[in-house]
Amino acid sequence: MAAAAGVEPPALAYIRHLVEELEDTAFEDACFDQADEFNDGDLFDRRPEPSEVPAAVARALDGVEDLLWKGSPTLAAYARQDARNRRLEQENVVAATAAAVADTGAATAGRNNPEVVTAAVVTELERMNRAQEEEAAAAAAVDGLRASLAGLLERLVLAVEEAEEEAAKLEAMGPELPGLAEDVGALFRAQKRFLDCLRVLRLFVASAR
């Protein structure tokens, strides 16, 4: 690696800035920061006017900037893949809420006819000629069943509302984006290039100390 001697101070400061910003940053996180619509900053804001640097360093600088400049094809691929991941997470949420509706509905259906249960209890008591206090206990149990059913119905309503809300969120995300294999391949190659370029810049900065 060529030493940093002779490189103009603004250029050296800019390269140091890039190395410091990216030193402990995963490629995915660097993409996230650059693609974040709420991030007004830009990793390359401090870029000085072009100046003479070793050829390997110039290629590394160009590589990092080509990958991460706002609006780059790499960031576009990252944004699409991020959208796919968020859609998959939402699909899992929708599936979970639908399962909750099914489970609550099944539990409700099992207790959805307290009159039938009451009649069955009374018939059984008459058949067995139970004591009056046992009839009272059975009546209390039936009242408890009604209260339990009311609670289940309330839970079912809430579960249905939640499922509908989550399904609406998924619908708002639109259809699944095409080009998954292409984007995954592009991001894999971009990550390797990013790490190679960062290694060159890191060694260059180290030579200036």
Q: Per-residue pLDDT for 5 more than 80?
A: no
Q: Write the single-letter amino acid at 30.
A: A
State both tokens at 82. 């991020």
Cα separation, 184 vs 189, whole angstroms: 9
Helix axes 180-207, 27-35, angle to 10 degrees: 100
Q: What is the pLDDT of residues 12-23, one digit of tens each?
A: 999 999 999 999
Mean of per-residue pLDDT scores for the chain: 84
Residue entry with tokens 């640097």: 53
> Would you place residue 37 in the very low, low, confident or very high pLDDT band (cuts 50, 70, 90)?
confident
Cα separation, 169 vs 167, whole angstroms: 5
Is-contact 102 150, C-beta < 8 A? no
Tell how far CA 100 is from the center of its chain. 21
CB-count exposure of residue 144 (10 Å: 0-12, 13-18, 19+): exposed
State both tokens at 195. 């790490």
Instruction: Return the domain boundaries, the chain.
Output: 9-76+181-207, 88-172
Q: What is the pLDDT of residues 118-146, one digit of tens each?
A: 555 555 556 555 555 555 665 665 566 66
CB-count exposure of residue 136 (10 Å: 0-12, 13-18, 19+): exposed
- Write the CB contacts of 193 (distance below 8 Å, at least 6 apart in sequence): 63, 67
Is-contact 197 103, C-beta < 8 A? no
State both tokens at 45. 């804001």
pTM for the whole structure: 0.74
- What is residue 188's predicted lDDT score, i.e. its pLDDT? 98
Q: What is the pLDDT of residues 169-203, one digit of tens each?
A: 999 999 989 999 999 999 999 999 999 999 999 99
Q: Per-residue pLDDT for 68 more than 70?
A: yes
Cα separation, 201 vs 169, whole angstroms: 43
Stretch 42-66: mean pLDDT: 89
Q: Percentage of residues in the chain with pLDDT exceeding 70?
A: 78
> Would you place residue 66 in the very low, low, confident or very high pLDDT band (cuts 50, 70, 90)?
very high
Q: Considering only CA atoms, which of 191, 183, 208 is closest in space to residue 83?
A: 183
Q: Per-residue pLDDT for 1 more than 50?
A: no
Q: Per-residue pLDDT for 50 more than 80?
A: no
Using the Cα atoms of residue 147, residue 151, residue 154 and residue 160 in order, give the sign of their dihedral: negative
